[in-house]
Amino acid sequence: MKYNRILLKLSGESLMGNVQYGIDPERLNQYAAEIKAVVEEGIEVAIVIGGGNIYRGVQAEESGIERVQGDYMGMLATVINGMALQSALERIGLFTRLMSGIKMEQVCEPFIRRRAIRHLEKGRIVIFGAGIGNPYFTTDSTASLRAIEIQADVVLKGTRVDGVYTADPEKDPSATRYSTLTFREAYEKNLNIMDMTAFTLCQENGLPVIVFDMNKPGNLLKILKGEKYGTLIQ
């Protein structure tokens, strides 16, 4: 295996699958199966999940809600998604821990770095909920920060396209996919892979990022076996 400890970033929106709002159970179970295949290979898996299928802080101001309040609402949304994913993983026999950036003892553990690493060493899947626990950040920044903290080998950003393209492939049919990029190239070409905070954290700490299609069955495992799918940024 090319990587031993990974951080998988899943957006909240991807959990919507075929529904208009919230969580599509079919998609949830599909993701759980993909993750199981990886865990069975002995890879340590940490997951950061977004909340965009339920709430995003930037929406708040449109409805007269203060931005900071909206951001906390978005963080709580990620905990809901984390709980759903935790259940789906446990239903298929996996061991998990949900750790939150905001204390909520009745539903999950607080994030403690050493404890998170210990869970991973014991083969438990660790899901990081509530982002980093601070407003004005995103779950992409959370993914980069937590990956660095737990010394993950790579951030795998699961999306609905199979990598980074020269233009939006859903709008421009002539767009072509990059198989590899340096952080500098991605920045100079303005490729918008992650927000700048997340991007800078990865670049400064030499943490590679792979953007790949999470919806294609078997893709996650193939990438971890070193097969070239998606775009590697390093």
Binding residue ranges: 9-12, 51-52, 56, 71, 132-139, 159, 165, 168
142 near ligand UDP (CB under 6 A)? yes
159 near ligand UDP (CB under 6 A)? no
Q: Which residue type occupies 97?
A: R
* Residue 111 DSSP one-character state: P
13 near ligand UDP (CB under 6 A)? yes
Total of residues contacting ligand UDP (CB under 6 A): 22
Of residues 96-125, those binding ligand UDP (CB under 6 A): none
The two beta strands, 177-178 and 125-129, are unpaired
Question: Distance between CA 206 and CA 204 in Å, rounded?
Answer: 6
In the complex, the smallest distance separating the C-beta of residue 123 from ligand UDP, rounded to whole angstroms, is 26
In the complex, the smallest distance separating the C-beta of residue 144 from ligand UDP, rounded to whole angstroms, is 11
Q: CB–CB of 232/208 below 8 Å?
A: yes
Mapping DSSP to helix (H, G, I), strand (E, B) and coil, where does residue 196 land? Answer: helix
Instruction: Give the CA-trace dihedral at 108, 8, 11, 165, to 10 degrees.
Output: 170
Q: CB–CB of 60/71 below 8 Å?
A: yes
Site string for ligand UDP, 41-70 (x = CB under 6 A): ---------xxx---xx------------x
Query: Which positions touch ligand UDP (CB under 6 A)?
Result: 11-13, 50-52, 56-57, 70-71, 74-75, 77-78, 131-132, 134-135, 137-139, 142
